[in-house]
Amino acid sequence: MSAIIDSPTRADLRDLPLAIGDAGRTIAIVAGVRVSLSRFLAEVRGLAARLPDRRYAVNLCEDRYRFLVAFCAVAARGQTTLLPPSRTRAAIDDVRAGHPDSYCLGDADSCGCDALAPLPHFVPVPLELPQAPGGVPRIPCDHVVAIGYTSGSTGAPKANPKRWRDFADGVQQNLAALAGLHGSDAPAIVATVPAQHMYGVEMSVLLPLLGGAAVHSGRPFFPDDIATALAAIDAPRLLVTTPVHLRALVESGVALPELAGIVSATAPLPRALAAAAEARFGGEVREMFGSTETCIIARRRTAIDDAWTPLPGVRLQPQPDGTAVEAAHLPAPVVLADLVQLLPDGRFLLRGRQADLLEIAGKRASLGDLTARLLAVPGVVDGVVVQLDDADAGGVRRIAALVVAPTLDEAAIHAALRASIDPVFLPRRLRRVDALPRNDTGKLPRDTVLALLRAD
């Protein structure tokens, strides 16, 4: 499968195609069957004709191929896909409350068909997708095709509109981010992240549409399932995943087919884990840096490098409370909470977030560094350190931690932390749990973490 696919010229265009490439190229692998671009577009047109006349749609499809078809059908109808921060009923209802003229669509067996609390205005996406004749749909450049919501890991989820031209520009940058991994052939992708997450949209929806890639329709979770999905696609294979899934793969001992590369995002990837994955599976582990607000803006090979390389056209401007980001795919500069240090060669180092910086009794630390020290304790499987909202009698907001450590008790964990953490930053509240409340992409919503820490 050639990676050289005609891409549209942006100059003076008012609209852009929904997908590019030869009609016979493979865009997806569904139950072992290779789906051609022509069949895919026929199913997009068929489903689009059945959608209700509303402005917004919440795409809840678990099957990645049906998500892809539904996403494109919604865009072809001139509508906008809403991407809630999670698939929970509360998150869906919150997003729809801000967009009353909306409906939900999803797999026939998705949460929309819950007999106890069915979603209103739910449209099931049939297993046998309808088809309709026609050409390649074209989308106005300035049409907002999606509104992505931040995860809520640092506060209330925020809406981020995405125009079709922004996504098209972003695909070219992401192809540059993947350069050197898959050679001259377009890759086939297996993704463990949900398609509804912006990282999932970029890597498993937009790359097949506008980057020539093929994508596996599943979202495998367990290591054996990931191996099976990878075996079902042709080389060059790319695994799009998260640090949580990558750690499970490395520790499982499962054998994977030959990989062109592993892509990781959504949470910081420890260097030791990246190096272990490269040693176990071959190929390069390439970490992506981005956000719902900016999409992917930088990359690095974490196993050997701490510095990030900005993608073409990305410009960073450090500020006292974060970093301003400018790029062709952003209609206006975006200010992130991340603090960066620019290097003479154009790369940058992450220095945490202003909100993560702590100052107690004249001493300074960061929540990221404290969490890293907690995770370095032998016997700690997972954990997070946070600063509580409420202050004590002295006006100090205390430090707390959630820890997964089946073989350790609280006293042992505290004793290990005292060897590497100043006493003023030791977690006063430390709670052992069976598992952290991570969402589908491995992130930890702050309100859920605080609720666990408040519980007896």
Domains of the chain and CATH, by start: 15-351 (3.40.50.12780), 361-454 (3.30.300.30)
pLDDT band at 61 (very low <50, low <70, confident <90, very high): very high
Q: In terms of pLDDT, which residue wins out, 152 or 221?
A: 221
**Cα separation of 191 and 239, whole Å?**
6
Burial class from Cβ neighbours inside 10 Å (0-12, 13-18, 19+) for residue 437 reads middle
Per-residue pLDDT, averaged over 24-45, amounts to 97
Buried/exposed code over 2-40 (b: 16+ C-beta within 10 A; e: otherwise): eeebebeeeeeeeebbbbbbeeebbbbbbeeebbbbebb
The model carries a pTM of 0.83
Question: What is residue 391's predicted lDDT score, i.e. its pLDDT?
Answer: 66
Give the tokens for residue 125: 């996406």
Residue 109 has pLDDT above 70, yes or no: no
Q: In terms of pLDDT, which residue wins out, 370 or 167?
A: 167
Question: What is residue 115's predicted lDDT score, i.e. its pLDDT?
Answer: 44
Question: What is residue 10's predicted lDDT score, i.e. its pLDDT?
Answer: 46
pLDDT band at 387 (very low <50, low <70, confident <90, very high): confident
Residue 102 has pLDDT above 90, yes or no: yes
Q: In terms of pLDDT, which residue wins out, 9 or 390?
A: 390
Question: 236 preceded by cis ω (within 30°)?
Answer: yes
Residue 239 has pLDDT above 90, yes or no: yes
**204-234 per-position pLDDT tens digit:** 999 999 999 999 999 999 999 999 999 999 9
**Cα separation of 386 and 429, whole Å?**
10
**Cα separation of 1 and 293, whole Å?**
33
Beta bridge partners of 309: 299
**Cα separation of 216 and 209, whole Å?**
13
Please report, for the chain, how many H helices and E strands are present, in that order: 12, 27
Question: What is residue 91's predicted lDDT score, i.e. its pLDDT?
Answer: 84
Reduce the DSSP state of residue 392 to 3 states and report it.
coil
**Cα separation of 59 and 79, whole Å?**
12
